Structure 1
Amino acid sequence: MQQNRYLLVEFFLLFILLPISFAYDYSFYLKGALTLIGFGYIIYILLKVEGISFRTTIEKKWGRFFKRIVIQFTVIALLTTLFVWYEDKSALFFVPKTNLLLFVIILGVYTFLSVWPQELIYRTFFFSRYEKLFQSKSLFIFINAIVFSLAHIFFRNTLVLILTFIGGILFGITFFRTRSTLLVSIEHALYGNWLFTVGMGQMLAFPGMETP
């Protein structure tokens, strides 16, 4: 019981209070310090308490994963292309067509400095710490998607919250099935980079989307 209380307090501080606080205006340096402290705590818990290994192995489930991702990505690519075309044709593939260097830089930075830490926090850590508190796996994945969306509240953008909630559902299902930080990071990077590529960067607060 005491352990569960500790986990609930930890959950509230890391996944509710801290993200909501970032939506308020206060020192950028303080926000950065809180982020680093929180991330450091998460890494410590994963390594010293949960005993998580970050070694990557080639597993049979990779084949099933990629088959599913191909289908999902095809649907997402079609829907988002139609959405951008309908909303603003000038934004369609704007950055790769006008600034290839910026496009490549953002893909790399987003993949390694945004996607991987997010998946380490919101899937690897979240599942290892809190899954035991939920009898319903569907409810657990739903809660995971809610807090993942909440992590983006500082953008103050409804579209961002909707897309990250949907992404949270997909990523939660992937991690539940594979238990692989690498695979869920690949999926996250694929979808996120595609949204930027297709022209949704301005809608999602990516730089370089100053369309005419």
Structure 2
Amino acid sequence: MLFFVGAPLAIAAFLPATVMFSALFALTAIGLILLHATDGFHWRDLRYGWRKINWWMVLKFTAMMLALCLVVILIFAPDQMFNILKRDPRLMLMIFTLYPLVSALPQEIVFRPLFFRRYGEILPSGQAALVLNAAIFSMAHLMYWSWIVAAMTFAGGLVFAWAYEKQQNFPLAVVLHGIAGNLIFLAGLGIYFYSGNVTRPF
């Protein structure tokens, strides 16, 4: 579990913002190696679940997530609403296309299958495991030093953990994560997830 706790704390506390993402990519690579070495894990298992996705539920999640993002941006940074879309629509399209694949997918692999499969025997039972997973997912974003990021990633972590562990549906977790991330950037909340804006409190 040092991988999930110690590494994010070290990155947030000691590494300069310019190398944070490089460190995260390196940790992701290590996580993939650990998952590959986990007894009983098979990569092919991750592809199952597409046919079981409740797309009506996904649509409702999308609507609620968009509403949440708009409320947050209106309260805390109204001048940044739809900033990327207004400034560079092509960049917004690129984010919509790439984020689910290059960010949501690897994050879900590391924070869901690796967490629940490799360390399942030492996790608490029931809902406590989901809460712990969400807390660790939120901690992984500590490097942004933003309570908004911490709160949103904790809430998102609960949803994604529920999709993976309770619904037994990895594709659903990736879909929900991809939608959430894209809506965050669409609304303008990407300013809180940008390493160039990181200011440590010490």
Short-chain TM bin: 0.7 to 0.9
Q: What's the CA shift for 1:30?
A: 9.5
* 1:92 and 2:81 matched: yes
* 1:80 and 2:72 matched: no
Distance in 1 (alpha carbons) for counterparts of 2:102 and 2:50? 25
Pick one of 86, 103, 120 that aligns with 1:114: 103
Q: Contact conserved, 2:138 with 2:157, CA < 8 A, in 1?
A: yes
Q: What's the CA shift for 1:165?
A: 0.5
Q: What's the CA shift for 1:102?
A: 1.6
Q: Contact conserved, 2:108 with 2:173, CA < 8 A, in 1?
A: yes
2:199 corresponds in structure 1 to: none
Q: Contact conserved, 1:93 with 1:198, CA < 8 A, in 2?
A: yes
Q: Which runs of 5+ in 1 are unaligned?
A: 1-10, 208-212
1:3 corresponds in structure 2 to: none
Asked which structure has the greater CA Rg, the reply is 1
1:154 corresponds in structure 2 to: 143
Judging changes above 3 Å, is the alpha-carbon distance between structure 1 residues 31 and 196 closer, same or farther for their aligned structure 2 residues? Answer: closer
Q: What's the CA shift for 1:146?
A: 0.6
Q: What's the CA shift for 1:173?
A: 0.5
Q: Contact conserved, 1:61 with 1:178, CA < 8 A, in 2?
A: no
Higher relative contact order (CA 8 A, sep 6+): 2
Q: Which runs of 5+ in 2 are unaligned?
A: 197-202
Q: What's the CA shift for 1:190?
A: 0.1
Distance in 1 (alpha carbons) for counterparts of 2:21 and 2:58? 35
Q: What's the CA shift for 1:151?
A: 0.3
Query: Which deviates more, 108-117 or 39-48?
Result: 39-48
Q: How many residues were matched structurally?
A: 193
Q: What's the CA shift for 1:80?
A: 2.2
Over the matched positions of the two proteins, sequence identity in percent amounts to 23
TM-score w.r.t. length of structure 2 = 0.82
- The one-letter amino acid of 1:61's match is K
3-state SS in 2 of match to 1:202? helix
Query: Which deviates more, 43-52 or 126-135?
Result: 43-52
- What RMSD over aligned residues (CA atoms) do the two structures have, in Å? 2.6
Distance in 2 (alpha carbons) for counterparts of 1:138 and 1:39? 26
Judging changes above 3 Å, is the alpha-carbon distance between structure 1 residues 134 and 48 closer, same or farther for their aligned structure 2 residues? Answer: closer
Residue correspondence of structure 1 range 59-208 to structure 2 within 5 A: 59-62=50-53, 64=54, 66-205=55-194
TM-score w.r.t. length of structure 1 = 0.78
